[in-house]
Every structure is written in structure tokens, then in C-alpha cells.
Amino acid sequence: MKIEWQGEITSVQPRFRLLRSFDQRHHVYLGYALRVRGSVAGEPGEAWFGVGKVSQQKHQFEVGQTASGQARPVVDPRMESADFYKVSRLAIQCRQGTVGATPPWHGPAPPIETYRERGHRRLFKRTYHSAACSSCIWGARMPVEIVVDQWNPDQKRYRFETFCYGPKSCSRYRAGPTRKVPGRRGMTYEEEDWVDAELTAHRGADD
């Protein structure tokens, strides 16, 4: 059943899913997530809404706009960064966004290809939630599906990880502890700092 929502957009971020299997990882590019503060299913509150790439291209969602629509609760919250998706009857009441000169960075989120090309670094979960990274276009909270044993792919674990696609010089950035991925027979893979360094080596500090 669809719910009605309406309110101010307080964040626009990539809506990606991360699949891990020991030291292997790849992404599923679902689109974008809009955080809206206002009325959700008739109650005051805040929630994340998943929209597609085409919808972002068309509406150029950004922080400060007000919008409304309908949406469905996600079927499997372990696999989604949004609370609701399949958005319909979308309407933008105020198109004027708010852009500041310091992080967190607002404005319309870039194309998905830009995120892919930039690559990400791990972002401390606490920083994501406390230092406004949750409203930055370069921040991302991804659902993670871990295949613990590739010979027994039904054995999975789920969690969320936070990342930053933004400039490496950002004053708000904190990496936080390295991430550990469980593997078969009790083994653990530790994703060390060089992984992020290599993935973002093509960018300068301020890019």
C-alpha cells in the first residue's frame, strides 16, 4: 500500500548497495535517496525515499526544496538505504535549493557515473551521523550484503557502511576504524587504508 509524503528535502545522496565476499566487492547502482522532513504517512517525521536516476535527472532534487508524492515501504530494509521507494505522483512545490560555501556540500547530486569515476573512502559511521555528512551529496550510507562462504552463497550477513565520495581535503572527514569482512572457517578480511588510497589516487586533495 502506498503512503503519502510531503516536506522539505534535507539530503540527496547516492543510493548504492555494496556486495562483499571476503576481499571482493562490487556495487549495485540503484539511484538516489532523498531525505524528507515533514509529513510521512500522515505523521510528522523524517524518512528516506528512493528515486531512480531518470527522476533525479528530471527534477534535479537538492537540499532546501519542498516536494510531495506517494511511495511504498521497502520490502527488505536490509537491502535498501531508503525507507520507501517506488515513488509516484511526485511534485516539487519549491524548486529553490540551498547551497553553502563550506561542507556539507549541497546542490543537485551529480550523475551516478561521476560517483563511480570518483570512487569512495570509508567514512566513520559516527562522523556520517554527527558532522552533517548525512546531508552532503558526497556522503553515502550503503546496505551491505556479505556472502560469508562462496561455496555456500546462501550463508549471508547484512549491515550498513558509510562512505565519502567527496574531496580528500574535507575538514569534516574521519575514516574511523578499518572494516572487517567475515569469511569461511572463521577467517576475516581487513580492508586496510591502501584500498581507499588506491581507489581515489587519481584525484587531487581538493577534487
Per residue, the 3-state secondary structure of 123-192, as one string, reads CCHHHHHHCCHHHCCCEEEEEEEEECCCCCCCCEEEEEEEEECCCCCCCCCCCCCCEEEECHHHCEEEEC
Q: Of the candidates 47, 112, 133, 181, which one interacts with ligand SF4 according to CB under 6 A?
A: 133
62 φ, ψ (degrees, to nearest 5): -155, 160
Under the binding rule (CB under 6 A), the answer on residue 63 touching ligand SF4 is no
Under the binding rule (CB under 6 A), the answer on residue 14 touching ligand SF4 is no
Which element (helix H / strand E) includes 56?
Answer: helix 53-59
Distance CA 114, CA 124 (A): 22
Number of chain positions touching ligand SF4 (CB under 6 A): 13
Q: Of the candidates 11, 12, 138, 145, which one interacts with ligand SF4 according to CB under 6 A?
A: 138
Under the binding rule (CB under 6 A), the answer on residue 103 touching ligand SF4 is yes
Q: Of the candidates 106, 146, 172, 183, which one interacts with ligand SF4 according to CB under 6 A?
A: 172
Closest to ligand SF4 by CB, 84 vs 128, is 128
Query: Residue 69 in contact with residue 47, Cβ under 8 Å?
Result: no
| Amino acid at position 129, single letter | H
For residue 126, the minimal CB distance to ligand SF4 (Å) is 12
Under the binding rule (CB under 6 A), the answer on residue 183 touching ligand SF4 is no
Q: Which residue is nearest to ligand SF4 (CB)?
A: 166
The set of residues, in sequence order, having a beta carbon less than 8 Å from that of 178 and lying 6+ positions away, is: 122, 190, 191, 192, 193
Under the binding rule (CB under 6 A), the answer on residue 115 touching ligand SF4 is no
**What residues make contact with ligand SF4 under the rule CB under 6 A?**
103-105, 133, 136, 138-139, 164, 166-167, 170, 172-173
